[in-house]
Amino acid sequence: MSRPPVARESVLDAFEAILIDRGERFATMDATAKAAGVSKGGLLYHFGSKQALADGLLARLDELVREDIAQIERAKEGVVAHFLRTSTTGDTPVDRAIVAATRLAQGGDPTANAALRGIREQWATLIRPHVRDALALDLVMLVSDGLYYNAALDGSGVAGPVPQGEELDALIALVKRAAQD
């Protein structure tokens, strides 16, 4: 699992940033190359097509989710609480990748859609043993989905109408009470 070149990563960073900050329509190869500080030709050396660029983003997303899931499993405050807390409170690499993938999916990229569905399934598998039943799982997943939905609507950095800090703590407690015994 050798680390890819720096230029490649900064192209992905730029692509992701435009998706988040401006939306799918503005995430062109031209704009991405410019934001990454390379020429179009340079970008196309690393990613031979727009789809390859999207695939690169989704591959990185997959890896970040893998790490994220490992972290949630080890969380001291419990799996459910940590899962909800990291459902886009902050501006972490996973969160950014997920919002960017959401934008791609909504633009009409079926691979982005499938990736997000797969991630949600992984999360559900992770949470299932820690809640009372299927209904409780639905509740936890939907609250998490709701947090991501608001993050996707607001782009990065902007504080949405979603609980944070102590309010988020209280929400987590409320959901846990409803979802666990």
Q: One symbol per residue from 49 to 68: x for binding DNA (CB under 7 A), - otherwise; what is it?
A: xxx-----------------
| Binding flags for a second copy, 107-146, as an x/- string (CB under 8 A) | xxx---x--xx--xx--x---------xxx-xx-xxxxxx
Among 15, 47, 83, 148, contact with a second copy (rule: CB under 8 A): 148
177 binding a second copy? (CB under 8 A)? yes
**Shortest separation between residue 50's beta carbon and DNA, angstroms:** 4
Q: Mark the segment that binds a second copy (CB under 8 A) among 1-9, 54-62, 88-96, 165-173.
A: 165-173
CA angle 119, 146, 67 (to 5 degrees): 30
78 binds, among DNA, a second copy, none (CB under 5 to 8 A by kind): none
Nearest of 88, 84, 104, 106 to residue 96 by alpha carbon: 88
Which of 103, 119, 127, 131 lies at the binding interface for a second copy (CB under 8 A)?
103
Q: What does the H/E/C string look like for 37-97?
A: CCCHHHHHHHCCCHHHHHHHHHHHHHHHHHHHHHHHHHCCCCHHHHHHHCCCCCCCHHHHH
| Alpha-carbon separation of residue 180 from 44, 92, 164, 169, 176 (angstroms) | 50, 28, 22, 16, 6
Residues 94-113 that bind DNA (CB under 7 A): none
Q: Which of DNA, a second copy, none does 65 bind, CB closer than 5 to 8 A by kind?
A: none
* 9, 13, 29, 120: which one binds DNA (CB under 7 A): 29
Q: Looking at residue 3, what DSSP letter applies?
A: P
Rounded CA separation 141/69 (Å) = 14
Q: Decide whether 41 or 129 has the Cβ nearer to a second copy.
A: 129
